[in-house]
Structure 1
Amino acid sequence: MSAAHDLPTTARPLSPEQRAADLRAMTEGELDVLVIGGGVVGTGAALDAVTRGLRVGLLEARDWAAGTSSGSSKLVHGGLRYLEQLDFGLVREALRERSLILHHLCPHLARPVPFLYPLTHRVWERFYVGSGIALYDTLGGRKGVPGHRHLSRRQALREFPGLRADTLVGAIQYHDGQVDDARHTMFLARTAVHHGALAASSARVTGFLTEAGRVVGARVHDLETGEDLEVRARHVVNAAGVWTDEIQDMAGGRGSFGVRASKGVHVLVPRERIQSSTGLISKTATSVLFLIPWGRHWVIGTTDTDWSLDLAHPAASRADLDYLLEQANRLLAHPLTHDDVVGVYAGLRPLLAGESDATSKLSREHAVVSPVPGLTIVAGGKYTTYRVMARDAVDAAVAELPDAVPSSCTEKVRLVGADGYEADWNRRHRLAAEHGLHVARVEDLLHRHGSLVHEVLALLRADPDLARPLAHAPDHLRAEVVQAVRAEGALHLDDVLARRTRISITVPDRGVEAAEEVAELVAPVLGWDQVRAAREVRAYRERVAAERASQAEPDDSRADAARLVAADLRTGA
């Protein structure tokens, strides 16, 4: 075990050593582009810039995907409801990106998923909704996902036996895409590093360096060591999501738009509680209800409400959970209760502020502006179109550079783990036999790691004890925990349990019992002594207790206060 972290990797790792070296390198000389924000758009921008041949730095204040990019509905989709708003351009663009994600950029992390759209009125609704979904298929070019089909009530109930028969007269089935958002974002960061970008999480930008009114870099506080650094760059890209306005303020004023945060809450229930082979989408009075099959669980979401409280730790309230269960139970033959809820998570959507007070009507389209020389800001958009947002931001940034810069090539750049994935999938039975694993286990590993599964398997060969499942979270091998800190950028226990794995929302105790075993495994790689490991375990358990307490509170303000009781080891707050 002691030498496990010294095993070779097949792509440049996100390791503690890489992070320290990259931070040092960022302070030496001048970057071409410095990207602020380690969500999907920021990591995408770093990958875009570095694959144009630029010297690139990427900074994230917390963990990769710690904000919005780990709190989505886990879908890559065109936005069926945007057709009602006649936003055909956005839908066409998103469907093109969906196809790229599913079938070229990261097939190991994304896959098609079927959905039912229940019909409650005869004739006119089937024509109206059917026409919209037919257009959706047409705009998507029908690439990579099956076309839609019309179902009678009997056929719909055959697909989704758990539906109440009196809630529909028929249905239309169509397909969209699904992705593990947190792992996808981490893979973007690792791919950028693999191509030469310098990257560091737990590195908070505290201000900008300016000369003659131009932004020429950033002041950075290393949250792991307490050191303050200066990073110089020819251009800075702000991709901070819901923190966009805060970063804009550092530059001496707001840009031409503002960003509002909309809270989206999701709950997870066991797969066996809803009898169905397909997901479901249904409109509600204030949002859209999704029932999404996700591994051994269903993800049920989402809310869409304004949020003006703590941005780092958005809290789900009892009212949020009541709403989601109530909306799901309108359709389900066997109603869900709070006792069925295994996990809960809340994310914040960064929406471009508009005239409407309803966040569901604010723009999901993105904007790119340069409020001061040397600084480009990108905000808005949706997860599926991250690559387009990143490309547009880098286009704006390099327009100020004196040298000619190649155009974006990221539509051709596969994420690490994608090359060789199909071949590894085809020989998954051999891989299972060679390593003494069940083939279903190897399939899970391939879906999480792609062809980088060989890094995990190398850990098993070096230390067979790592082939054991975690005692209190048996869907994950002990080797995956070691891989999370040696190659996937996890620096804290919370990073492993909440984002590299999803133990914090997929295990009924939310990872409380697994925390000690996980801390024991990562301590040698991260250099923790027993005191530090115990502090990490205590902090994680306090986080879970605070989240549970917030979910019992009746409204946002009380939920926020309950959630903030738990200490944050990165900030000390």
Structure 2
Amino acid sequence: MPVVPALGPERRARAWAELAEQPFEVLVVGGGVTGAGVALDAATRGLRTALVEARDFASGTSSRSSKLFHGGLRYLESFDFGLVREALHERDLSVTRLAPHLVKPVPFLYPLTRHWERPYVTAGLTLYDGLARVGALSTPLPPQRHLTRTGARKLFPALKPDALVGAVRYYDAQADDARHTLSVARTAAAYGATVLNSAEVVKFHHAGGRVTGVRVRDVETGREVDVQAEVVVNATGVWTDDIQTLVGGRGRFHVRASKGVHIVVPRDRINGETGLILRTEKSVLFVIPWGSHWIVGTTDTDWDLDKAHPAASRADIDYILEHVNQVLAVPLSHDDITGVYAGLRPLLAGESEVTSQLSREHAVARPMPGVVAVAGGKYTTYRPMAADAVDAVADDVTRSVPPSVTENIPLVGAEGYHAMVNQLHGLSERWGIPHFRAEHLLNRYGSETPEVLGLAADDRSLLEPVSGAEEYLMVEMVWGASHEGALHLDDLLARRTRISIETPHRGVESAEPVARAVAGVLGWDEARIRNEVDSYRARVEAERRSQEAADDQAADAVRIAAPDTRAVAVGRALV
């Protein structure tokens, strides 16, 4: 892999100069996983590429998913065999080749509530496993295994005895979605893409009936630059229609937002060794192992309020607790909840009035010359979505576009990862950190782990745990600011790490120590440190109060009242 540029302040300044001074063949708007995937696909096809994100990488849907790389077992019921097969291939590809340090297999139990369900579920999982084996790159994940009630409760003792008559165990995979998205964006940068967050498109330029570029505003300073581009790719997810309005003219499709809420609880509150997938009257509910925690979700409701900060209401949380407690011998309560997060799924509108039935297929369109839009799909299939979008770019660029090669492009940290796993003991000894900490770092940074630790060579205090969040080291915060484009405290506590949902204080106790640790890298003075800490605390307080609100409208009103460190206009102004 080429050298991965450090996305710190110096690189940011150079990226702004590149936007202003050189024309691009492809400009991607949106720094979620789809936009990052488009940038990577375009850059590795040899196209001069830029990626701009108004907020932070993965700050929308791509940091708020169920954090699964899965085929979508439930889509078999609607005969979406092509979608499931594609997703299973992408799961296999990421586990084995593209991101083995980030995407890990995880077992799930499918509890059976009636004996007659077993042949039905068996047929579905047999098809699921079979689709995964078609063209598998290596040894597939373990096949389904049938369990009696006793056998299932040995794996998951927390289940009520009367909640099941048996179960089937199967495998899928999971990843930290925000870290994975950031890795895609950084890999695009390694292959030459200009990558910027806090860079908001505020205007589209037209000439001769086509789009010829955009005006981009630096959200941090207010400075604006005009950028020339042969084609602009709208990969903004739930903001797709807003950006199309800014472009002018009619889009070829519309995107509807569906809110999904998850809760996070400590691992010791649920006694189990696998994940769970539970049927509900609307969809499915996952109980997903997540390090020293469980993620439980999700909901599926229409949302037409603030897109940047979707709020979870008490009704959402009560729904999750009610359904998971139907199968748990020791029920969960509000007091058990460590964190809550809400995200918006970008669903293609028009197929149904019920969000859970809207298509998870993706669509690519060329609403006018010089513009390509891509939307829909699911996190797992980001790569083929991106490839289809860049295929469509070919109509607007002046030279031939070769085929996609991203199936063979490992993400940053993947190359050399397996060798480093074998050297884990030596890594632990060399830096004087416990084996479990070295393993934790390796599963976040892969083969970049020695570089991350290298930041502590002259300051061993960076090898100390983060105050109030001992799963993380202070050196990770400095790396996030110096190499991963973090510009605000929120970026570090909510996306570069998951302190905001993994600690009972939701990052408040960690805020000031982290701000002081990165101040030197980001050039913060005492006033800026205080502003970042106060803003973060206000955000947490607003989220807590919104989660006590009775409904969406009340929760939204409370959440958006908190100060926003990024004053983004497009999207909010157009809602």
TM-score (norm 2): 0.97
Aligned pair partner of 2:495 in 496, 499, 502:
499
Unaligned 5+ residue runs, structure 1? 1-8
Mapped pair 1:47 → 2:43: no
Aligned to 1:536: 532
Query: Residues of 2 paired with 1:254 and 1:20: CA distance?
Result: 35
Any idea what SS the aligned residue of 2:408 has?
A: coil
User: Which residues of 2 match residues 419-498 of structure 1 at below 5 A?
Assistant: 419-498=415-494
Query: Residues of 1 paired with 2:258 and 2:318: CA distance?
Result: 18
Mapped pair 1:80 → 2:73: yes
User: Which residues of 2 match residues 398-437 of structure 1 at below 5 A?
Assistant: 398-437=394-433
Aligned pair partner of 2:308 in 284, 308, 312:
312
CA contact (8 A) 2:69 2:379 kept: yes
Aligned to 2:25: 32
Any idea what SS the aligned residue of 1:396 has?
A: helix
Aligned to 2:273: 277
What is the CA deviation profile of residues 58-103 of structure 1, one whole-angstrom value per residue up to 9, with x for unaligned ones?
Answer: 0000000000000000000000000000010000000000001111
Query: Residues of 2 paired with 1:238 and 1:270: CA distance?
Result: 39
Query: Residues of 2 paired with 1:401 and 1:445: CA distance?
Result: 41
What is the CA deviation profile of residues 482-534 of structure 1, one whole-angstrom value per residue up to 9, with x for unaligned ones?
Answer: 00000011000000000000000001100001000000011110001000110
Q: What count of residue pairs does the alignment treat as equivalent?
A: 564
Mapped pair 1:156 → 2:152: yes
Query: Residues of 1 paired with 2:312 and 2:97: CA distance?
Result: 35
CA contact (8 A) 1:217 1:236 kept: yes
Aligned pair partner of 1:370 in 345, 366, 373:
366
Aligned to 1:3: none
User: Which residues of 2 match residues 297-376 of structure 1 at below 5 A?
Assistant: 297-376=293-372
What is the CA deviation profile of residues 108-127 of structure 1, one whole-angstrom value per residue up to 9, with x for unaligned ones?
Answer: 111000000000111x3100
In the TM superposition, what is the alpha-carbon distance from 1:553 to its structure 2 partner?
0.2
What is the CA deviation profile of residues 299-327 of structure 1, one whole-angstrom value per residue up to 9, with x for unaligned ones?
Answer: 00000000000000000000000000111
User: Which residues of 2 match residues 374-385 of structure 1 at below 5 A?
Assistant: 374-385=370-381
Aligned to 2:572: none
Query: Residues of 2 paired with 1:505 and 1:314: CA distance?
Result: 15
Query: Residues of 2 paired with 1:144 and 1:439: CA distance?
Result: 29
Aligned pair partner of 2:110 in 117, 121, 128:
117
Aligned to 2:282: 286
What is the CA deviation profile of residues 458-495 of structure 1, one whole-angstrom value per residue up to 9, with x for unaligned ones?
Answer: 01222111111112111111100000000011000000
CA contact (8 A) 1:271 1:297 kept: yes
Query: Residues of 2 paired with 1:401 and 1:422: CA distance?
Result: 39
Aligned pair partner of 1:203 in 183, 199, 202:
199
In the TM superposition, what is the alpha-carbon distance from 1:13 to its structure 2 partner?
1.6
In the TM superposition, what is the alpha-carbon distance from 1:572 to its structure 2 partner?
7.6
CA contact (8 A) 1:445 1:453 kept: yes
In the TM superposition, what is the alpha-carbon distance from 1:225 to its structure 2 partner?
1.4
Query: Residues of 2 paired with 1:508 and 1:402: CA distance?
Result: 54
Aligned pair partner of 1:139 in 111, 131, 152:
131
User: What amino acid maps onto 1:51 in structure 2?
Assistant: T
User: What amino acid maps onto 2:107 in structure 1?
Assistant: P
Mapped pair 1:256 → 2:248: no
Query: Residues of 2 paired with 1:284 and 1:205: CA distance?
Result: 40
Query: Residues of 2 paired with 1:154 and 1:78: CA distance?
Result: 28
User: What amino acid maps onto 1:381 in structure 2?
Assistant: G
CA contact (8 A) 1:63 1:495 kept: yes
Change (3 A) 1:68 1:572: closer
Q: Choose 107-116 or 457-466, whichever is displaced more.
A: 457-466
Unaligned 5+ residue runs, structure 2? 570-575
Any idea what SS the aligned residue of 2:117 has?
A: helix
In the TM superposition, what is the alpha-carbon distance from 1:254 to its structure 2 partner?
2.6
Moved segments of 4+, more than 3 Å: none
CA contact (8 A) 1:10 1:455 kept: no
CA contact (8 A) 2:55 2:568 kept: no
Aligned pair partner of 1:168 in 155, 164, 168:
164
In the TM superposition, what is the alpha-carbon distance from 1:144 to its structure 2 partner?
3.2
CA contact (8 A) 2:132 2:140 kept: no
Q: Choose 211-220 or 382-391, whichever is displaced more.
A: 211-220
CA contact (8 A) 1:13 1:194 kept: no
CA contact (8 A) 1:102 1:144 kept: no
In the TM superposition, what is the alpha-carbon distance from 1:399 to its structure 2 partner?
2.9
User: What amino acid maps onto 1:243 in structure 2?
Assistant: W
Mapped pair 1:15 → 2:8: yes
Any idea what SS the aligned residue of 1:235 has?
A: strand
Aligned to 1:71: 64
Query: Residues of 2 paired with 1:564 and 1:281: CA distance?
Result: 33
Query: Residues of 2 paired with 1:456 and 1:184: CA distance?
Result: 17
User: What amino acid maps onto 1:129 in structure 2?
Assistant: V
CA contact (8 A) 1:103 1:144 kept: no
TM-score (norm 1): 0.97
User: What amino acid maps onto 1:278 in structure 2?
Assistant: T
Any idea what SS the aligned residue of 1:27 has?
A: helix
Query: Residues of 2 paired with 1:253 and 1:556: CA distance?
Result: 31
User: What amino acid maps onto 2:18 in structure 1?
Assistant: A
Query: Residues of 1 paired with 2:305 and 2:381: CA distance?
Result: 27
Aligned pair partner of 1:130 in 95, 99, 122:
122
Query: Residues of 2 paired with 1:470 and 1:370: CA distance?
Result: 47
Q: Choose 315-324 or 19-28, whichever is displaced more.
A: 19-28
Query: Residues of 2 paired with 1:19 and 1:217: CA distance?
Result: 20
CA contact (8 A) 2:262 2:297 kept: yes
Aligned to 1:4: none
CA contact (8 A) 2:469 2:499 kept: yes
Query: Residues of 2 paired with 1:307 and 1:469: CA distance?
Result: 38
Query: Residues of 1 paired with 2:399 and 2:467: CA distance?
Result: 56
Any idea what SS the aligned residue of 1:461 has?
A: coil
Query: Residues of 2 paired with 1:30 and 1:513: CA distance?
Result: 45
Query: Residues of 1 paired with 2:528 and 2:411: CA distance?
Result: 34
Any idea what SS the aligned residue of 1:346 has?
A: strand
Aligned to 2:99: 106
In the TM superposition, what is the alpha-carbon distance from 1:54 to its structure 2 partner?
0.8
Aligned to 2:210: 214
Task: Give the % identical residues.
Answer: 59
Query: Residues of 2 paired with 1:526 and 1:572: CA distance?
Result: 21
Query: Residues of 2 paired with 1:238 and 1:344: CA distance?
Result: 29
Any idea what SS the aligned residue of 1:299 has?
A: strand
CA contact (8 A) 1:10 1:452 kept: no
User: What amino acid maps onto 1:336 in structure 2?
Assistant: L
In the TM superposition, what is the alpha-carbon distance from 1:12 to its structure 2 partner?
1.3
Query: Residues of 2 paired with 1:133 and 1:572: CA distance?
Result: 45
Aligned pair partner of 1:96 in 74, 89, 93:
89
CA contact (8 A) 1:309 1:560 kept: yes
